[in-house]
A = this chain, B = another copy of it.
């Protein structure tokens, strides 16, 4: 949404060992400096031959070849090859093992092959000079394999963005300490840090600040020195206790740009920029913080990583198993549990009320976006569910 129009500097690049580059984002195209395969090779286990010498071969009238180990072949010879072996010069096909029989120093071919059959031709995988992997691609195991096969042991990747995380609230107590009356444990720093790690970013922890403009401003200044972006939770509401937006505006220009978003949950979310660095101000309610991260931080971090394309959540179409009211004029993020019934997928809304219930996030396996223009999702209505990672859609 808003941050998508924010100017983001192209991340810095670094030269990195390929073996340490899993899930990093490639900064420069990888261009093949060699053909792959580098030489004509056998695609099967069998015997390399000149194809023309196999014409008419059958099990009853096999063609016979003398076995050789030489690297040059004529029409009278065949060479034993395993999958991946280089073909001898002169050979243009391979008879598969199961279509042959070795008899002393000879081999019988029981079936003809055509030129090129059972061969991987030099350059058929990747041609020298062509782009093997484009800049902006996240390096998955298969890309690493291709780059390794091309012989590169280092790649140019983007540096990781630095994201700082701050939780605010007088009621918050860090895990491992004792609660006083009316206090709660701070879950948000761990949740937001984990959501960053999921995207491949190790966050910077700014700790917990009390609801004090001065204390929050101090921590924000540290964050701006050390990080490229800051995510806060708590201290923002709709037209009331706005200690974090106030602190952000104290720290620098332009400060808060948007305060309050027509969505539910996470309505009090604010978006700010200070010293050209984005600051995402999320509500303190853990569910709202998670949904706010999903909507605003995730696409922002994808851009800061240098990815060519945002990575989508997987979607499924399902029918609402039960109706649920939504807020007219707001975009509603309804947690649902998708399950299979009578060969169709159904989405059970998790908890109509109580966006603050963190268990709604663990009981759901995805969410449905209910648009601003409606007052609810109806039973039987077809919806698109954004699935959480690693989820199982139960049978």
Q: Are B84 and A191 in contact (CB under 8 A)?
A: no
Least CB separation from A389: chain B residue: B140
State the Cβ distance, A20 to closest chain B Cβ, in Å.
10
Contact between chains at A354 and B290 (CB < 8 Å): no
User: Is A311 touching B390 in the complex (CB atoms < 8 A)?
Assistant: yes
Please tell me which stretch of A31-39, A220-228, A253-261, A374-382 contacts chain B, meaning at least 4 of its Cβ atoms lie within 8 angstroms of it: A31-39
Q: Which residue of B lies closest to A133 (CB)?
A: B362
Check if B45 sits within 8 Å of A392, measured CB to CB: no
Chain A 17-50 interface residues, beta-carbon cutoff 8 Å to B: 18-19, 22, 36-39, 43, 45
User: Which parts of A268-309 form the interface with B (CB within 8 Å)?
Assistant: 283-286, 290, 309
This protein's copies in its complex: 2
Closest-CB distance, A99 to chain B (whole angstroms)? 13
Given contacts A149-B286, A362-B133, A362-B146, contact A43 B194 (CB under 8 A): no
Residues of B within 8 Å of A283, CB to CB, are 83
Give CA–CA (A93, B198) in the complex, Å: 39
A344 located at the interface, meaning its Cβ lies under 8 Å from any Cβ of chain B in the complex:
no
Complex Cα distance, B38 from A284, in Å, reads: 16
Stretch at the interface among A5-13, A55-63, A235-243: A235-243
> When each residue 141-185 of chain A gets 1 if its CB lies under 8 Å from chain B and 0 otherwise, what string results?
111111011111100000000000000010100011001011011
Q: Tell me the bound Cα distance from A47 to B74 in angstroms.
A: 95
Bound Cα distance from A319 to B359, whole angstroms:
38
Please give me the residue from chain B that is nearest to A34 by CB atom.
Answer: B179
Which chain B positions have C-beta within 8 A of A146? Answer: 187, 358-359, 361-362
